[in-house]
A and B are shown apart, each in its own frame.
Chain A
């Protein structure tokens, strides 16, 4: 069983998702960044749909309606304008679609490496956090108390 079938998307919906994801986050060869329509990333997106399936299907249907069923046939400027306009208008469906795409995209090894970010889970290695400049606290230490002492105020 293929992954889009597992997610509950039809073949037509899967094709739409691929076209839309590619328009939302296109590949950039100069940065070494794949597009969100990269097969591996798209597979991760589809596997991640889960509880958001009804919203994802709604978003795909609404984009299809806004493009008269010809999203893939629009030129690049029109595709991007349609997506940006739809997303700016808000709504749970397009927000869910964006979240699912971004969540999968920004955990792909190639994407993370293009950002000079380690491609791994945080645990068990963790990360290094430098101490920072604690001398900056000296100015604050010299301040008088800011908090109200109720015992003094109510004794007046």
Chain B
């Protein structure tokens, strides 16, 4: 095994949080190295550059790693879960393959125990993160519209994505029902921004943006971090974090692209592999001193996995709408986000309004729903659906439960022989009631919009499976893995900055909060540099 020159800070993972923390710490002038198991992406490789753009969503740009199966991916045993894992392994991580929908958590999301009497409070609140949300919005480049009564004040730097025909159709229905709606915040640039071109509507851009309009950290944070001196090393898959005789992290053992093993020593190690990759790494770092996995004296590493159940309800209207010619998301509703016990459940959900689909995905999705027949009727029915589709996602909050967890699979390994993660996950009764409530409201909206042929997928094709909660933060070392500023209770030079440190999950896409939290942890580290390990 070869040894490398010691660095001050070793960051594992270059995605949403790893990039943000690298950029923030760069001003310290410490020697910072990031190890990333994937590659740099090239915009010319993104699906929208080719005629097979829709098919590649089910291939090398699938949001599920098991289906995607790139050389840079690791397998996940998700047999015992109704939802699948969404991730991407490459520079930028999950920000490369995501919808760019950009809601923040609500203030109530951080105080679930105090306000609603269940789960736990975060050790920090929304207001501690607010300036980091703002900073992150500037860094990623957010398009949206201030003045939304559904969320705390924020000021997106670019105007929102157009409503289009589809959004206008939804808006009329929502106004008739008297329910809240607002154009979504998104990290898709609607104007030239910091060297990025503006969106030209390349269809559904979840699998990467060839125009560079959709923010991913390979084109936002990383160029600035690298210019400031951070080193990013790709094709480096970390096997384990090692410790020294003082119970401090010594560095990490990783494999390069050729499968050669290296040891990278570091003064500080920051883990940024998100809610499945991080517990996998900590559990794979078990040693005689840490027999249950690194930083796991609480026994909570891998537990409390939250995935955001996300029913999808669709229908078809008589009018021709936008189809799949623009980014998929365009509006949100916070009408049912905050707790109202008369609904029969605690906490709530965001309604996320989607545009239609491209020609092939329209066919694939409606065939899978049993709505598109094969044979003579195929063309007639297809033409009634194509560019007439409306669809609403219900982004539900699932509460932390220890039996929902990430462990190491006893058999499955990645291409380097590193034990792969296994997830065990069930949807509890409170969340099920929430899902059914959201499905019924979505059906009301679609009906008001004139839609027929309604169809509900409770765990939808390509449902997101956000990865949260598996190394939670807290002030009590017996009930949490990291403290209120991201440092592991058990290992004082080991930090975690990704979605795994979430205490509760809210009912929103998580990337905005993951990055705000990473910037917050970096800020806390910078404030404590003189006594970081005390």
- A interface residues with partner B (beta carbon < 8 Å): 23-26, 28, 31, 33, 48, 50-51, 76, 79-80, 83-84, 87-88, 95, 98-99, 102-107, 111-112, 115, 117, 120-134, 136-137, 139-141, 143-151, 153-154
One of B93-101, B372-380, B438-446 at the interface: B372-380
Task: Assess the B325–A129 pair: CB atoms within 8 A.
Answer: yes
> In the complex the two chains form, what is the Cα distance from A87 to B126 in whole Å?
48
Q: A-facing mask of B121-141, CB < 8 A → 1, else 0?
A: 000011100000000000000
Nearest Cβ distance between residue A51 and chain B, in whole angstroms? 7
Contact B59 A50 (CB under 8 A): yes
Asked if B415 is at the interface (CB within 8 A of a chain A CB), the reply is no
> In the complex, which residues of chain B have a beta carbon less than 8 angstroms from the beta carbon of A95?
368
B229 at the A/B interface (Cβ < 8 Å)?
no
Tell yes or no: B163 within 8 A of A by CB: yes
Count residues of B near A (Cβ-Cβ below 8 Å). Answer: 75
A126 / chain B contacts, CB cutoff of 8 Å: 199-202, 211
A31→B379 CA distance, assembly (Å)? 8
Does chain A have a CB within 8 A of B64? no
Establish whether residues B334 and A136, one from each chain, have CB atoms under 8 Å apart when the complex forms.
no
Knowing A103-B364, A127-B203 touch, does A146 contact B374 (C-beta < 8 A)?
no
> Within 8 Å of chain A (Cβ to Cβ): is B418?
no
Main SS of chain B's interface residues? loop
Contact of A144 among B149, B161, B200, B379 (CB under 8 A): B149
User: With the chains together, A28 CA to B52 CA distance in Å?
Assistant: 23
Q: Could you give 15 example pairs across A and B, Cβ below 8 Å?
A: A23-B375, A84-B374, A106-B54, A123-B211, A124-B210, A129-B161, A133-B168, A136-B163, A145-B149, A146-B149, A146-B334, A147-B334, A149-B107, A150-B125, A154-B115
Q: Which residue of A lies closest to B201 (CB)?
A: A127
Q: Is B115 in contact with A148, judged by CB distance below 8 angstroms? A: yes
User: Given the interface contacts A50-B59, A126-B200, does A150 sit within 8 Å of B114 by beta carbon?
Assistant: yes
Contacting pair A80 B376 (CB below 8 A): yes
Cβ A146 vs Cβ B338 within 8 A = yes
Q: Counting CB contacts under 8 A, is B49 at the interface?
A: yes
CA distance A26 to B111 in the complex (A): 58
Closest 7 pairs (CB-CB, A-B): A132-B163, A126-B200, A80-B375, A127-B325, A103-B55, A106-B360, A132-B168
* Residues in chain A near residue B343, CB distance under 8 A: none
- The segment from B2-10, B174-182, B255-263, B471-479 that touches chain A is B174-182
> Using a CB-CB cutoff of 8 Å, which residues 178-193 of chain B contact chain A?
180-183
Q: Let me know if B29 is at the binding interface, CB within 8 A.
A: no
A84, B373: Cβ atoms under 8 Å?
A: yes
Give the residues in chain B near A79, CB-CB below 8 Å: 375
Most chain B CB neighbours (cut-off 10 Å) among A24, A98, A102, A105: A102
Quick one: given A103-B52, A121-B51, are A148 and B364 in contact (CB under 8 Å)? Answer: no
A106 pairs with B363, CB closer than 8 A: yes
**Chain B residues with CB below 8 A from A151, complex form:** 107, 127
A98 CB to closest chain B CB, in angstroms? 5
Given known contacts A98-B364, A98-B367, A146 and B335 CB-to-CB distance under 8 angstroms? yes
Contacts of B202 in A (CB 8 A): 122-123, 126-127
For A23, what are the chain B residues with a Cβ–Cβ distance below 8 Å? Answer: 374-375
B171 within 8 A of A: yes
A150 touches B59 (CB 8 A): no
Q: B82 contacts the other chain (Cβ, under 8 Å)? A: no
Given A106-B54, A126-B202, A147-B334, 6 more A-B residue pairs with CB atoms under 8 Å apart are A106-B358, A128-B325, A146-B335, A148-B106, A148-B339, A150-B114
